[in-house]
Chain A
């Protein structure tokens, strides 16, 4: 286990190094010049050059990258070009909101996805099953921007059940979590359905039925615990999916997380922020996958870590 963890952590570090190199190179190659964004349109060429020098952007790529890495090791993500403050400060201020949103989304996708999958499996082949599966298909394919605005319009503006965007209380959290979770719910309902169908075919279910247990006891006592485990193991992998989703969902709902930060930074070529958020997201994805792999053998003894 320890050897496995060490190996995986080294792998993770290498992946992060690769991500940082690729992102840094891509941003370096962008035709847009960050110095001119900072210097503004009234700046003289002299001012532009002076700023370029102060930021070290006149150095060759290797020097710039090496300096970024050495700073990174000491926890310094640099200063934002546009916001003129520490990137780490900006990310730390916004990370809790994004994590909270992800927790909400995980709850939503599990509750919705698992129950839809369960019902569909039990009523397999019926109209309910078909309706649920069409629903899950829509959930998977609907653009989050549209879903978000739709939910906002119906439940916040028209019905007034929830606040119109913003952050702070539990009721602020419901709609964005739902928007972010619907995509995953679609996947989970399909996984849950097939996993459940698989389990319901097993001999021990037949045995349970044969000994006269009620449907409810068979489903919740015997089938569900076995069917649900492989599904749960996927949560770690969701984090990667969320990282893409939060950019959209946070913008729609005015949720002050790192997705919104990234989106604004991309529009203004604020390279230190783009780098910082990319690295934080990459960390989250790598850790999520690692977590999924570590948890898997505990949930499903057929899986062994090697």
Chain B
């Protein structure tokens, strides 16, 4: 994955030298793909909203990507950026001005042509506090963001409509992640007239430029998407109709899949049935395994004794038997030794981390002045398998003398405890762990390991704040020039190595994704474990049994 990204970045660097990166979105369509057919996808939880400025759930993330488009997107099934609604873009040498040329002839589902005004309107809207977007913070580097976020202005000073097909965005600082931000759902383009028509209910009546348009939404029961015949990307999507059935327990969804009624259970294979499915060659053949931009970790509150001592934190890192925990969850993960997951650019394959070593852990505890260990608390979310994992960690810690009592609570309560300065000495992140918003190494730092996250209500549950690393991170993110992407990735590698030396976390594993599909589903396997269009890329999959 990393190599793939580097090569594309190198290619775009070449184009940048010429002054312009041109569109590559018209990649060859899958020659085996057939047009037509209908599929059924299930989810357990309600689809909250399909407003791209607001939706931030497992089930609506990819749906929104199919209804709307952003200026940028990724090559299907990969983490490689490419222009989408933009035809091309230009980055100024100081890395602070991005000029996007828009694709012509792109129409919203209501028939109106999309223009640069819509792009500006969408960015103004998502950053406006009245929208209450959970993604507003991603746009903080745009000039004038503070005025809009503070309610002083309704328009981002840094976003300028040059002409109907050109948008210029000026940043207050160089931001290497900005193209990713233009690919994230929150920046997807919405038509003003429809937003104003439906007001707060726009999320129930989504109108975008995407491959599908909404045909039906029966609250709590089903959503139906229909192929957008006017889609600008000719030939896409392949499937005529997608029905999302809501409120289906994963176990029921699996039974229905086995019965031929469901094509993809959106919530995956239920843990209780995982071994049974994988033991059956016929079923196993229809399971696609892929990496996930996720890391499961134990946070140690660096501002609470005895975890304020780095030796104690290192001892915990060495005490946890990660292989055993991975077995405990039926090998649905791979052991981790650093914050970044393996499919993330910047992951360091050579990094050794802290090997499992009980004696060394004990010795370190002794050096830290706790030869007999100590008592502490381990917070954990109360849904399976997290309490079981916490028990395994508890046993591992007991082996070096640390007596951790388990506080098993509802998700929101664990998150609340983590956001209090002295709220939780240790947290097992399972069920709440960080999943990257976009495939860039910086996304694993700021809110969860940087000083800005170590605040009341923040997500830096280790309360780890290293000013020097914050500066390094800022420096790395100011390297916008794609030609220096290697240098930037290396800088990030160093930052995470430094983080691990301070050991605010004990990384435990990276979850793998397992998507099961019906025999009729076609398309490349990587579309079913797409790292960005989570859980699957609806625009590119197809069915084999159409005439």
User: What residues of chain A lie closer than 8 Å to B204, measured between beta carbons?
Assistant: 85
Would you give the shortest CB distance from A54 to chain B, in whole angstroms? 7
User: What residues of chain B lie closer than 8 Å to A97, measured between beta carbons?
Assistant: 220
Q: Mark A39-62, 1 if CB is under 8 A from B, else 0.
A: 111111111101100100000000
Closest to A149 in B: B251
The answer, yes or no, to whether A174 is at the interface (CB within 8 Å) is no
B457 pairs with A45, CB closer than 8 A: yes
- Interface locus among B255-263, B311-319, B510-518: B255-263
Would you give the shortest CB distance from A271 to chain B, in whole angstroms? 11
Q: Which of A30, A38, A90, A261 is close to B413, meaning CB atoms less than 8 Å apart?
A: A30
Would you give the shortest CB distance from B206 to chain A, in whole angstroms? 12
The answer, yes or no, to whether A83 is at the interface (CB within 8 Å) is yes
Would you give the shortest CB distance from A48 to chain B, in whole angstroms? 6
Closest to B256 in A: A164
Known: A42-B447, A44-B137, A84-B203. A264 touches B129 (CB 8 A): no
B149 pairs with A42, CB closer than 8 A: no
Closest to B184 in A: A42
A254 pairs with B248, CB closer than 8 A: yes
Question: What number of residue pairs across chains A and B have CB atoms under 8 A from each other?
Answer: 138
- Classify chain B's interface size: 35 or more
The answer, yes or no, to whether A37 is at the interface (CB within 8 Å) is yes
Separation of A188 and B16 alpha carbons in the complex (Å): 78
B137 pairs with A47, CB closer than 8 A: yes
User: What residues of chain B lie closer than 8 Å to A44, measured between beta carbons?
Assistant: 136-137, 140, 149
Closest to B51 in A: A84
Q: Which of B200, B203, B220 is close to A256, meaning CB atoms less than 8 Å apart?
A: B220
Known: A39-B134, A252-B249. A50 touches B151 (CB 8 A): yes
Known: A43-B134, A84-B200, A267-B411. A252 touches B247 (CB 8 A): no
| 8 A Cβ contacts from B219-240 to A | 219-221
User: What residues of chain A lie closer than 8 Å to B49, measured between beta carbons?
Assistant: 83-85
Known: A37-B412, A84-B49, A84-B54. A54 touches B130 (CB 8 A): yes
B48 pairs with A32, CB closer than 8 A: no
Separation of A281 and B214 alpha carbons in the complex (Å): 33
B447 pairs with A264, CB closer than 8 A: no
User: What residues of chain A lie closer than 8 Å to B258, measured between beta carbons?
Assistant: 157
A79 pairs with B219, CB closer than 8 A: no
Separation of A261 and B204 alpha carbons in the complex (Å): 17
Would you give the shortest CB distance from A32 to chain B, in whole angstroms? 3
Separation of A44 and B150 alpha carbons in the complex (Å): 11
A51 pairs with B259, CB closer than 8 A: no
User: What residues of chain A lie closer than 8 Å to B457, measured between beta carbons?
Assistant: 33, 36, 45, 48
Known: A32-B416, A94-B219, A268-B412. A251 touches B51 (CB 8 A): no
A32 pairs with B415, CB closer than 8 A: yes
The answer, yes or no, to whether A165 is at the interface (CB within 8 Å) is yes
Would you give the shortest CB distance from A146 to chain B, in whole angstroms? 12
Q: Which of B200, B255, B434 is close to A79, meaning CB atoms less than 8 Å apart?
A: B200
The answer, yes or no, to whether B459 is at the interface (CB within 8 Å) is yes
Known: A48-B457, A267-B410. A85 touches B256 (CB 8 A): no
Interface centre among A44, A252, A255, A264 (most CB of B within 10 A): A44
Separation of A251 and B151 alpha carbons in the complex (Å): 42
Q: Mark B380-424, 1 if CB is under 8 A from A, else 0.
A: 000000000000000000000000000000111101110100000
User: What residues of chain B lie closer than 8 Å to A79, measured between beta carbons?
Assistant: 200
B137 pairs with A264, CB closer than 8 A: no
The answer, yes or no, to whether A253 is at the interface (CB within 8 Å) is yes
Would you give the shortest CB distance from B311 to chain A, in whole angstroms? 30
The answer, yes or no, to whether A138 is at the interface (CB within 8 Å) is no
The answer, yes or no, to whether A152 is at the interface (CB within 8 Å) is yes
Q: Mark A49-87, 1 if CB is under 8 A from B, else 0.
A: 011001000000000000000000000000100111100
Q: Mark A248-281, 1 if CB is under 8 A from B, else 0.
A: 0011111111001100100111000000000000
Closest to B128 in A: A50
Separation of A191 and B255 alpha carbons in the complex (Å): 38
Interface centre among B48, B203, B434, B459 (most CB of A within 10 A): B48
Separation of A253 and B251 alpha carbons in the complex (Å): 10
User: What residues of chain A lie closer than 8 Å to B48, measured between beta carbons?
Assistant: 82-84
The answer, yes or no, to whether A24 is at the interface (CB within 8 Å) is no
Separation of A157 and B411 alpha carbons in the complex (Å): 33
Separation of A50 and B150 alpha carbons in the complex (Å): 9
B252 pairs with A152, CB closer than 8 A: yes
B412 pairs with A30, CB closer than 8 A: yes
The answer, yes or no, to whether B494 is at the interface (CB within 8 Å) is no
- The 8 listed contacts between A and B (C-beta, < 8 Å) are A32-B413, A32-B415, A42-B138, A51-B129, A90-B219, A255-B247, A260-B220, A264-B46
Interface residues of B (CB under 8 A from A): 45-46, 48-49, 51, 54, 56, 129-130, 132, 134-138, 140, 149-151, 200-201, 203-204, 218-221, 245-249, 251-252, 255-256, 258-259, 261, 410-413, 415-417, 419, 434, 437, 447, 455-457, 459
Interface residues of A (CB under 8 A from B): 30-33, 36-48, 50-51, 54, 79, 82-85, 89-90, 93-94, 97, 149, 152-153, 156-157, 160, 164-167, 250-257, 260-261, 264, 267-269
Q: A32-B415, A33-B416, A253-B252 are in contact. List 11 more A-B contacts (CB 8 A).
A: A30-B412, A32-B413, A36-B415, A39-B134, A42-B136, A51-B129, A54-B132, A85-B203, A93-B220, A256-B246, A261-B220
